[in-house]
Structure 1
Amino acid sequence: MCQGDDPSCPEFGLHYEALKRDLASERRSFLKSSFVAAGGLAGLAAGGMSLVTPALAQATAAKAPATRKHHYLPANADTVHWGYFSKTLKPRVECDSGDIVTIETLTHHANDDAERMVQGDEGAESVFLWTKDKKGVDRRGAGPTDPKVYKKGSGEGQGVHVMTGPVYVRGAEPGDVLEVRILDCAPRACANPAFKGKSFGSNAAAWWGYHYNDMLGGQKREVVTIYEVDASGAKSWAQAVYNFKWVPQTDPFGVEHATIDYPGVPVDHSKTARNFDVLKGVRIPIRPHFGTLGLAPAEVDFVDTIPPNWVGGNIDNWRIGKGATMYYPVAVEGGLLSVGDPHASQGDSELCGTAIECSLTGVFQLILHKKADLAGTPLEELNYPMLETKDEWLVHGFSFANYLKELGSDAQSAIYGKSSVDLAMRDAFRKMRHFLMTTQKLTEDEAVSLMSIAVDFGVTQVVDGNWGVHAIVKKDLFAGRV
């Protein structure tokens, strides 16, 4: 049943109005929690335990329109861009600071089982359409689009995520900070009547996974596991349905794919051997989140979605879900926020190459903090994507903080051979040191001691070209200061 998330539903208008009423109620609860609004919509200042100070919240609120609008951005062939961020893209939605945007996102792995993840879904069918004559979305990646040059397909698969957007935030300029509150995040229901009430996702243990060159007996294989998720949210866990070994697939244009080397290739299951006796009795906790969420970088026109960088992107942190807030430095006019790579669940490291790649619908509130108002606040020197939850702050370290700038003209290819956990750990350490010294006014010696005894460092992912390490600090460490 449409819950305000299916524009093709005849009663979509009524259902979406109900969604907005529910959202308003949820937002009131959200603001009454420890994420308390200071100065109205713009604040998250909870007794000094937020990156948004009361003064900043008030300054931001003063610049926002008096009324907020709700926008709905469905996912279809006209609203997505596949495999790249770009400052040249035409916005699909324009909004003001404080507006709420509901955004549908599709997993790029839906064609691993089209029967469960594409069939009957008008939006997904338009995106994944691929016949011998055409593709619904031709370009897939930041690579070449000239048929005389590419070998696998337009975009060459240099970037794989189906991104919905971009969203243009009026007034956003380089040097500003965009606050992105994730108010909701829910699985997209299967549209095939045979699987009513369910949602599905795919996990590919692929050739780019950390495990691939270290398999027992030296064997190398790619194995895809399909998972079932309860679309209603009644069950807090997912379960495996079946798995299969990838075998060469020939796409509708006649190109053979011996490995998973181009996104959206339809899998012909008459060629696979599906094993339904897999992970029996195992329940995987559901942690819906967006693997790839961020702004358009300024350095080049088309940027591969796989490596994350200083304006966000493919961070792949499972904590970037409902109730979390992300802060991004703005690099281009309007910010140009895009959302994709939705996951039903993932562990730290995303070791085999993917999470449970599962289409989701998110509800976001976008709040613009102007550069002129940032002086003296914790966001003044923010030049990396920052995560805040009710209880924690997280910094994201990468092997290269801004690989597009640091690695020169060949950055988008060079990054894949230069990443390491050591480099990512060093970057996370430096960012956390800076965070503690600037926001909590610690000395360097105090910060170093605290990092060793009370900050948790974890491997975010080792599969995205630019590897990631996150550092988590609990807010209640500083409760005695309030």
Structure 2
Amino acid sequence: MVAFSAAPLLAQQGPVDPVMFDGGYEALQPLSGSAGPAELEGHGQGYYVPSTPETVQWGYLPNRDSEPVLTVPSGSVVTFDTLSHEGLLEDQGRDPEVYFAGFEVTRDFVLDDAVEITGSDIAHDFAVDGPHIVTGPIAIEGAEPGDILKIETLSIIPRTGYGVISNRHGKGALPGEFPETPVPAADASAENPEAYHNVSVFTPISERDGQYYGALHTAEGERVEFPIRPFMGLMGVASDTSEPVHSVPPAMHGGNLDINELGAGSTLYLPIEVAGALFYTGDPHAAQGDGEVALTALEHSMRPTFRLTVLKPGDEGLPMSGDIAHPMAETEDYWIAIGLNEDLDEAMKEAVRQSIGLLTGRYGMDRATALAYLSAGVDFEVSQVVDKTKGVHALIPKADFSALAVD
């Protein structure tokens, strides 16, 4: 265990008092500098993909022209070392050693891959590019357009004992109201990060009785704790385009879905658009409330492990009959239908349509009865409202259908 204590916050963070908190654990440094076969702790033989200048894109997602960093058979187990962008971006100085030293985090507890990437010549324009460090893609043998990639999240392990929650000017659920700091100055840059006047809240993490918690505090200094529920905000397949694909808005390829139900034990289904699927991941979160209203969740570098399986049309492993043209997911308790649109009302409508399609395609319900059931028995949650494309997802309880035969 290591003690983390937050020193006075940097100037660009505005009028936020520091948190003093003990906790944390050893940083999980990269397992290797290259992608390839590996013995995975807790998962046996599989594959490993690090985040290096050669295996990441910063701010953009893979497209049909992207070269895979690794090719694996269908059904393979793959561990990724992923990086949070927080503490690495230009408004934080693009130097994680210096940034986290401001919170008394010593170099031993700063991730080596974060230092390597920020110190590399990877181009990143803070004003234009997406913030996310996207790891991959990897190709899955036999994957073709029209197939479905089944992404089972087997585990997600935090790599550090701290994270960051940020609110930036012009973004979040209340742009123009928050952050309550001056607007960015003309000379704001990685060399002058304080001039952005953004608010980033360093958040230590500790363990108590087997549960991890993030810590904030009130203006009177009283500590507020909230439980950690790790998930990957960004999982996707390559889009069938040669145009750059921005990392922020989610779409049919998945990407930045930011659905907090998609932690360990969940499964995401994505329609494949290009040969090999070209799976990638990033935007790791320790915790996120529905809506993600500040702009970011508790951003926190993670080590996720997935099983990646190609499902051909008609495969018995598909969650429903008929074509699956939209992202959908499941957990032990729920089917998750996903609606995406720049308009939140339209995202809600799309989530209802996808829910009806799931109920008719899996359980043979007629459409009118499906809509009635959704109105009486299903919660629709706002995934996020801060990623240009809004997200709404339905949580359809599996237990309600336990007595039914599945088509």
User: What range is the shorter-chain TM-score in?
Assistant: 0.7 to 0.9
Question: For each residue in 1:309-354, what CA deviation from the matched residue of structure 2 results, as whole angstroms up to 9, or x when unmatched?
Answer: 0110001111111111111110011111111000110000001111
Cα offset for 1:375?
A: 11
CA distance in 2, matches of 1:441, 1:292: 32
CA distance in 1, matches of 2:307, 2:262: 14
CA distance in 2, matches of 1:354, 1:298: 28
CA distance in 1, matches of 2:293, 2:181: 18
Q: TM-score, normalised by structure 1?
A: 0.67
CA distance in 2, matches of 1:277, 1:107: 27
Which residue number corresponds to residue 278 of structure 2?
336
CA contact (8 A) 2:47 2:78 kept: yes
Question: For each residue in 1:264-291, what CA deviation from the matched residue of structure 2 results, as whole angstroms up to 9, or x when unmatched?
Answer: xxxxxxxxxxxx9687321111011111
Cα offset for 1:297?
A: 0.9
Cα offset for 1:213?
A: 3.0
Structure 1 segment 203-222 matched on structure 2, within 5 A: 203-207=165-169, 208-214=171-177, 222=198
Structure 1 segment 392-403 matched on structure 2, within 5 A: 392-399=334-341
CA distance in 2, matches of 1:98, 1:378: 20
CA contact (8 A) 2:311 2:317 kept: no
Give the letter for the 1:110 counterpart: G
Cα offset for 1:450?
A: 0.3
Gap change, CA 1:229 and 1:451, over 3 Å in 2: same
Which residue number corresponds to residue 91 of structure 1?
68
Gap change, CA 1:443 and 1:372, over 3 Å in 2: closer
Question: For each residue in 1:343-399, what CA deviation from the matched residue of structure 2 results, as whole angstroms up to 9, or x when unmatched?
Answer: 110000001111011100001111111135379961531111111101101011011
Structure 1 window deviating more from structure 2 (425-434 vs 209-218): it is 209-218
Which residue number corresponds to residue 43 of structure 2?
23
Gap change, CA 1:137 and 1:164, over 3 Å in 2: farther
Question: For each residue in 1:110-161, what CA deviation from the matched residue of structure 2 results, as whole angstroms up to 9, or x when unmatched?
Answer: 33434349775321111111xxxxxx15233xxxxxxxxxxx57xx533221
CA distance in 2, matches of 1:317, 1:376: 21
- Is 1:369 aligned to 2:311, yes or no? yes
CA distance in 2, matches of 1:394, 1:373: 20
SS of residue paired to 1:453: helix
- Structure 2 residue corresponding to 1:126, chosen from 106, 113, 116: 116
Which residue number corresponds to residue 351 of structure 1?
293
- What are the ranges of 5 or more consecutive residues in structure 2 without an aligned counterpart? 1-24, 93-98, 184-196
Which residue number corresponds to residue 356 of structure 2?
433
Cα offset for 1:3?
A: 9.7
Question: For each residue in 1:209-247, what CA deviation from the matched residue of structure 2 results, as whole angstroms up to 9, or x when unmatched?
Answer: 112234599987632111112489944211138xxxxxx
Aligned sequence identity (%):
30
CA distance in 1, matches of 2:147, 2:123: 31
Which residue number corresponds to residue 86 of structure 2?
109
CA distance in 2, matches of 1:299, 1:278: 52
Which residue number corresponds to residue 3 of structure 2?
none
Question: For each residue in 1:5-34, what CA deviation from the matched residue of structure 2 results, as whole angstroms up to 9, or x when unmatched?
Answer: 63269xxxxxx74x53x235xxxxxxxxxx
CA distance in 1, matches of 2:331, 2:179: 40
Which residue number corresponds to residue 414 of structure 1?
none
CA contact (8 A) 2:150 2:268 kept: yes
SS of residue paired to 1:213: coil
SS of residue paired to 1:431: helix
Structure 1 segment 448-459 matched on structure 2, within 5 A: 448-459=371-382
- Is 1:78 aligned to 2:74, yes or no? no
Question: For each residue in 1:389-435, what CA deviation from the matched residue of structure 2 results, as whole angstroms up to 9, or x when unmatched?
Answer: 01101011011xxxxxxxxxxxxxxxxxxx22111111111111111
CA distance in 2, matches of 1:240, 1:357: 14
Structure 1 segment 304-343 matched on structure 2, within 5 A: 304-343=246-285
CA distance in 2, matches of 1:211, 1:2: 36
CA contact (8 A) 1:309 1:398 kept: yes
SS of residue paired to 2:176: helix
Give the letter for the 2:164 counterpart: S
Which residue number corresponds to residue 404 of structure 1?
none
- Structure 2 residue corresponding to 1:284, chosen from 214, 226, 229: 226
Q: TM-score, normalised by structure 2?
A: 0.78
Gap change, CA 1:233 and 1:164, over 3 Å in 2: farther
SS of residue paired to 1:395: strand
Structure 1 window deviating more from structure 2 (117-126 vs 334-343): it is 117-126
Q: What is the Cα-based RMSD across aligned positions, in Å?
A: 3.0
- Is 1:237 aligned to 2:224, yes or no? no
CA contact (8 A) 2:43 2:77 kept: no
Which residue number corresponds to residue 475 of structure 1?
398
- What are the ranges of 5 or more consecutive residues in structure 1 without an aligned counterpart? 10-15, 25-68, 130-135, 141-151, 190-198, 242-275, 400-418
Gap change, CA 1:137 and 1:291, over 3 Å in 2: farther
- Is 1:388 aligned to 2:330, yes or no? yes
Which residue number corresponds to residue 36 of structure 1?
none
SS of residue paired to 1:105: coil
SS of residue paired to 2:295: coil
Total equivalences in the alignment: 350
